[in-house]
Structure 1
């Protein structure tokens, strides 16, 4: 996969914590952030697919057992 460099500005305390985490995981800051972004994109894709499925179900509607109420004449029929 072709990589492209970007400039990223992070608050110093966050960058410090990210560096520590990368060392603990025997990784680089770049790889750690790449994994985090990949996970966010995957979750977003899964969410979007689930949302589309649910919207299709709502558009189709649900059978709630509704029956048209009897007319006044039908109720008072003798």
Structure 2
């Protein structure tokens, strides 16, 4: 594993330490996760599909998995109070 040095302003550093603590991880782990996603999500630019290119369905599945991982990582989950009422759920005027 290689080490890298990153310079950030004091407020960004402080906020990242706080956020990492909330997620029960380290700033290094957050940066590593970000860089891994950056490399994994690289589109290649030309639009040509290579042997390792993911399909649209695979991409959507991966994104869905990432959302669930983020929900579990923050330990927030879903709360019953977040659910819409039946009337709000079927209110067609609200979505226009």
TM-score band, normalised by shorter chain: 0.5 to 0.7
Q: Counterparts in 2 of 1:8-27, with a 5 A limit?
A: 8-27=6-25
Gap regions ≥5 residues in structure 2? 50-96
Segments ≥4 residues shifted beyond 4 Å? none
What secondary structure sits across from 1:52 in the alignment? Answer: coil
Q: Which residue of 1 aligns with 2:47?
A: 51
TM-score (norm 1): 0.54
Q: Counterparts in 2 of 1:37-48, with a 5 A limit?
A: 37-44=35-42, 47-48=43-44
Relative contact order: is structure 1 or structure 2 higher (C-alpha 8 Å, sep ≥ 6)? Answer: 2
Q: Which residue of 1 aligns with 2:70?
A: none
Gap regions ≥5 residues in structure 1? 54-78
Aligned residues: 49
2: CA distance between counterparts of 1:50 and 1:10? 32
1: CA distance between counterparts of 2:25 and 2:32? 11
Deviation at 1:14, TM superposition (A): 1.1
